[in-house]
């Protein structure tokens, strides 16, 4: 291996005591491939097994904590104890390959397809979806408290299933994000209004998850939080809002904050003045000394990964690139970084071990993947 890539392969120990063998993470990516009963399918097991060997950590696709929180067709479930064997099967597959396994937990909120939640789509407020096809119902106080408890319960299940941690999905316009955003949260009670009140639900979820870990985990078990730093809408999340969220999360003894971006080097829309830094650099400067940051977004080559680490981001997550190149880590380690694939061949599904629904989405969504 070229010695210049040594930083990618330094070990990393989280606050909780969970230790990674390197700094490379498999990012959570929806694959639409679970069984109809919500259990993990054989195709998913094969898909994760193909990618879990080299990376230090695998974060699974999201699992819904509540029956009415399913955000996708073909999503594996975590909302009942009946799902523990399914969850355990995936955790075991990942860990047998040598990677740590983290279960991403979420509620889809207004992003849930109506047919998956008996038509009862819920959110912080009754704000129509972007396509105007669905107007969610605003959750009651009692329902909000029940969903917070659901996050606690799925954390217990993750512990029982053998995971090394959970990632709270507070990004990508799902329910936690919807509560923090002034665009989707128009409430006037304790769960909405000013930015501090809009923080109430995300922080209550973090507290519930942390409490479950303290009660049920017998050894090191990490808790991460994923966020999206900005929204395009005028009333939406700004970098200034995100700094408030980061300050609050930094007080929660989290193991990491995962910044969800399509491009690691993207620049802010608004909320900061005249700094000339990327969103990732702004977040690093604001909170990086208090909690480790995980960055993601169009990191493809070994040099891309090295450049990301060199600005002071300790962990890099690969999503699309690990689908295109499952042997990303191994090729760098064996001095074959020039052989890393950064495009996807239309004939490569079997070699890449990609489930049919995900493959169809890759091929049928121009611009998402570099398909050749």
- What CATH number corresponds to the domain at position 130? 3.20.20.70
Q: Does any domain span residue 372?
A: no
**In angstroms, what CA-CA distances link 199 with 120, 144, 316?**
24, 13, 26
Q: Tell me the pTM.
A: 0.97
Residue 274 scores a pLDDT above 80: no
Question: Mean pLDDT throughout 119-129?
Answer: 96
Beta strands in 3-136 (DSSP E): 12-13, 19-20, 24-26, 57-64, 100-106, 122-123
Q: Does any domain span residue 370?
A: no
Q: Does any domain span residue 33?
A: yes
Q: Which domain holds residue 167?
A: 3-364
Contact 88, 103 (CB under 8 A): no
Question: Mean pLDDT throughout 167-171?
Answer: 98
Q: Does any domain span residue 12?
A: yes
Neighbouring-strand partners of residue 122: 137
Q: Does any domain span residue 86?
A: yes
From 163, 174, 225, 256, the catalytic residue: 174
**Segment 222-266, tens digit of pLDDT:** 999 999 999 999 899 999 999 999 999 999 999 999 999 999 999
Q: Does any domain span residue 369?
A: no
Q: Return phi, psi of residue 118, to 5°.
A: 55, 35
Q: Does any domain span residue 371?
A: no
Q: Does any domain span residue 111?
A: yes
| Number of domains within the chain | 1
Determine whether 47 is an active site residue. no
């Amino acid at each position: 291996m070229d010695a210049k890539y040594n930083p990618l392969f330094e070990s990393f120990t989280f606050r909780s005591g969970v230790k990674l063998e390197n700094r490379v993470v498999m990012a959570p990516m929806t694959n639409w491939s679970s069984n109809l009963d919500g259990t993990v399918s054989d195709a998913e097991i094969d898909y994760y097994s193909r990618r879990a060997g080299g990376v230090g950590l695998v974060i699974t696709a999201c699992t819904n904590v509540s029956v009415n929180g399913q955000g996708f067709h073909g999503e594996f479930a975590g909302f009942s104890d009946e799902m523990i064997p399914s969850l355990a099967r995936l955790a075991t597959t990942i860990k047998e390959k040598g990677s740590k396994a983290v279960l991403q937990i979420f509620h889809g909120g207004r992003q849930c397809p109506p047919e998956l939640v008996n038509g009862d789509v819920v959110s912080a407020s009754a704000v129509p979806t972007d396509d105007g096809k669905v107007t969610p119902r605003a959750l009651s106080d009692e329902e909000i408290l029940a969903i917070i408890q659901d996050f606690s319960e799925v954390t217990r299940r993750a512990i029982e299933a053998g995971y090394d941690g959970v990632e709270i999905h507070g990004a990508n316009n799902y329910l936690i994000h919807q509560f923090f955003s002034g665009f989707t949260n128009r409430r006037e009670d304790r769960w909405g209004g000013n930015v501090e009140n809009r923080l109430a639900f995300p922080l209550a979820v973090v507290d519930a998850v942390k409490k479950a870990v303290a009660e049920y985990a017998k050894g090191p078990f990490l808790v991460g939080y994923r966020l999206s730093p900005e929204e395009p809408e005028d009333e939406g999340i700004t970098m200034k809002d995100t700094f408030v969220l980061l300050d609050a999360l930094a007080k929660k003894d989290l193991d990491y904050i995962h910044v969800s971006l399509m491009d690691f080097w993207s620049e802010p829309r608004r909320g900061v003045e005249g700094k000339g830094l990327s969103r990732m650099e702004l977040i690093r400067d604001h909170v990086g000394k208090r909690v480790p940051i995980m960055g993601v977004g169009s990191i493809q080559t070994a040099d891309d990964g090295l450049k990301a680490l060199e600005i002071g981001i300790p962990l890099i997550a690969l999503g699309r690139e690990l689908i295109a190149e499952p042997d990303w880590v191994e090729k760098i380690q064996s001095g074959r970084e020039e052989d890393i694939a950064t495009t996807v061949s239309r004939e490569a599904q079997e070699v890449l071990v990609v489930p049919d629904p995900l493959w169809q989405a890759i091929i049928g969504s121009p611009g998402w993947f570099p398909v050749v």
